[in-house]
Structure 1
Amino acid sequence: MGDGIEVLLTNDDGIDTGGIRAVYDGLVEVADVTVVAPAEDQSATGRSLSHEVDVFEHELGYAVDGTPADCVVAALAELDPDPDLVVAGCNRGANLGEYVLGRSGTISAAVEAAFFDVPAIAASMYIPIDRGPVHEADLRLEEYAEATRVTRFLAENALEAGVFEHAGYLNVNVPIADAEPAPIEITRPSKRYEMDAEREGETIHLSDRIWDSMDPEVIPDPAGTDRRAVAEGRISISPLAAPHSTNDHESLESLVEAYAERWESTRTERAD
C-alpha cells in the first residue's frame, strides 16, 4: 500500500466489478485505500438511504448490503471516519449532464461525502453505443487504464493544489483507454434532457434518447459541456458543489413582496 493520503473507495456497480478493482489497483500505489462498496449492483439508486444495512468483510475492505450513499455514511461515520478523499468508481458507463446528478449512484456517493465536508471524485467511463448495452458490455481491466490514470493523478495532486477549496466534488468522465492518454477538458454539465415515454396498453415504456446522438459530428451539446468533450474523445472534469447553491432571483423577491402585501390587505379588510 501507499503511504500517502487516506482514500475511501466506493462505487455503485458492486464491490466485485472490474471498475472498482482497476481503480483500487491504481490508487494503492499512491494512497492508503479502504473500500466500502455495495455488495450488489446499486446503479441509478441516487442518494437513497436505508435505515440499517448489513456489512461483511471483503478482500478489498467491506461489502455493504445497501446503496452507495449507505456505504459513504457507514464508512465516514463508523468504518473509516477520517479519509482525506472519497473516490467513487470507476462506473461502467458515463455520468454526463445535469439530469444525472441526482440519479447516479456514483455521483451520489461523492455528493454524500461532500455533505460530510470530505472532498470527492466521481469517476465514470463512457462506453460507445456500438459496444452494446452498458450493463452487458464485456470490459477488460486494461480498458479502465485511462480512468485509473486520471483518478490516481487527481487523488495525488488535487488536494494540495487547492481544487477542493472551490469545489465539493469532481465529476470525471473518461473514454475507454487508448494507446495514448486522452487530453483533459474542464467542463460544465450539459443541460440537454431527452427522456421519453410511450404507452403500450397498460404499460408505459421509459427511454433515455440522449445516447442516440453521441456522434461527435452532429452532437447538439455545445462546446464546454461534459457530453461534447467525451463524445469527441476527451476526458471531462466538471468541478461541482454540494449542496447546490441558490441563485439571486429579483422576480421571485418581487413575488414574495406581493404575497405579503396581498395578505396584509386581506387582514386589513377583515378587521374593517
Structure 2
Amino acid sequence: MSVDRILLTNDDGIDTVGFRALHRTLSKRGYDVVAVAPAADQSSVGRSLSTDVVVHDHELGYAVEGTPADCAVVGLSELVPDADVVVAGCNEGANLGEYVLGRSGTVSAAVEAAFFDVPAIATSMYVPAGEDPSEWSLDLRDFAHASATTGFLVDHAVGAGVFEQVDYLNVNAPMADGETGPNPAERAPIEVTEPSQLYEMDASRTPENGVRLHDRIWDRMETGDLPDPPGTDRRAIVEGRVSVSPLTAPHTSGHHEALDGLAETYESVDAGVEIDADVGTSTSEN
C-alpha cells in the first residue's frame, strides 16, 4: 500500500501552530494533505462524539465544529473517504502514560481511525514540566522533531508493514529549541516505547468548598524525580528522545477461568434475589 492522501486532524484547533507545522511538513513531502480538524480547542475531550456537526470550508480543508473523534468519523466516512493515513497533531503538550490515552483528543482521533481500518499516527510535543503552554510563543521551528519524525513514519511505516501488527502509533517528541530539548539542527533519536503504567492522580479539598484534582506525575517530572523505567514513553521524552509507542485500539479482551466459572454458576447462586421486571431493579428476600 502506498500513501498518497492524508487526513490531518488534531484537538487544539485547525489554526494552531502545531497543526500548521505538520501540514507544512507533510505537504512538502508531496502528500495530498486534507485538514478535517476542530474549529476550536477540543483538548482532553477523549472520544466524545456528537450527533450533528457543522462543517466549514477552510483554506487547509475543513473546519468542524466538533470533537477530534467527530473529525475522524466525518472525514473518513464523508469528506476524505479515500485517505490512506490519518495523522493527528501536533498537540502542544505531551500525551504520555496509559492513563492519558483515553483522555487525549489527539490520541482519540487516531483510535477512531483504527476502527475504520485506516493507519493512524498521533503526534504530540513535550512542553517541559513546570511550563504553561499558553505562555509560550511557539513557532514552526519548535515542532521540528515532531514534524520530522511524523514525516519519516508516514514515509516508511506503512510500507514496512508496521500497521499489519498495530493500529496506531502514539508519538511524543521533544521541543526543538536547543535549550529545553535537542538542538533543532540535530535529529532527536527515536525510541520504540511502551506507555508508562505509573498513575499518581489525587484530589484535595479547597477553602472554597471545592475539590482540586492533581496530576502528581508532572510535579515529579519538574523536580527530576522520574520513577519510570527504561523503555517507557515518559523516560524517553524527558531524556530527549522521540517516543513512539505502537498500540492497538481498545479494548483488548481475554478469557479468565474465574470469570468463566462465575458465568456458569450465575443461575444457581443467589437464588434469593428477585428481579423486579417493572422497574428493572432487584430486591433481596431476607
Same fold (TM over 0.5): yes
String of CA shifts for 1:73-115, please: whole Å, max 9, x gaps.
1111111111110000000000001111110000000001001
- Match for residue 205 of structure 2? 199
Aligned twin of 1:36: 36
Which range moved further: 15-24 or 191-200?
A: 191-200
Deviation, structure 1 residue 209:
1.6
Displacement of 1:136 after TM fit? 3.1
Give per-residue Cα distances to partners, 1:236-257, cap 9 Å, x unaligned. 1111101321134233223333
1:45 and 1:104 in contact (8 A); partners too: yes
1:101 corresponds to which residue? 101
Does residue 260 of structure 2 align to residue 244 of structure 1? Answer: no
Match for residue 140 of structure 1? Answer: 139
Provide the residue aligned with 2:53 in structure 1: 53
Residue in 2 that maps onto 1:112: 112
**Structure 1, unaligned runs of 5 or more:** 267-272
Once the two structures are TM-superposed, the CA of residue 195 in structure 1 deviates from its matched residue by 1.3
Could you tell me how far apart the structure 1 residues matched to 2:249 and 2:190 are? 23
Q: Which residue of 1 aligns with 2:179?
A: none
SS in 2 for 1:87: strand
Give 3-state SS (helix, strand or coil) of 1:122's partner.
strand
Separation in 2 of the partners of 1:232 and 1:153?
A: 21
CA distance in 2, matches of 1:4, 1:159: 8
2:223 and 2:155 mapped to 1: Cα distance?
32
Task: Give, as a single letter, the amino acid of the residue that structure 1 aligns with 2:120.
Answer: A
In structure 2, C-alpha distance between the alignment counterparts of 1:261 and 1:165, rounded to whole Å: 44
Deviations 1:123-160 (A, max 9, x none): 00001024x21233321210101011000010111110
Q: Which residue of 1 aligns with 2:170?
A: 171
More helix as a share of residues = 1
For 1:83, the equivalent position in structure 2 comes to 83
Q: Which moved more, 1:104-113 or 1:137-146?
A: 137-146
**Aligned mates of 1:223, 1:264 — CA distance in 2:** 51
Gaps of 5+ in 2: 177-182, 274-286
Aligned to 1:183: 189
Which of 225, 232, 247 matches 1:225?
232
Kept in 2: contact 1:45–1:105 (CA 8 A): yes
Q: TM-score of the superposition, structure 2-length normalised? A: 0.87
CA contact (8 A) 1:47 1:68 kept: yes
1:201-240 CA-to-partner distances (Å, cap 9, x unmatched) read 4211112121111269531011111111111111111111
Q: Distance in 2 between matches of 1:103 and 1:265?
A: 41
Q: Which amino acid in 2 is paired with 1:196?
A: D
> Does the CA-based 8 Å contact 2:9-2:89 persist in structure 1?
yes
> How far has the Cα of 1:263 moved from its partner?
6.3
1:167-207 residue CA offsets vs partner (Å, 9 max, x unmatched): 11000000012231111111111111111211124211112
Q: Aligned Cα RMSD in Å? A: 2.0
Structure 1, 103-112 or 227-236: larger mean CA deviation: 227-236
Give me the whole-angstrom Cα distance separating, in 1, the residues matched to 2:267 and 2:78.
47
Secondary structure in 2 aligned to 1:155? helix
Partner of 1:10: 9
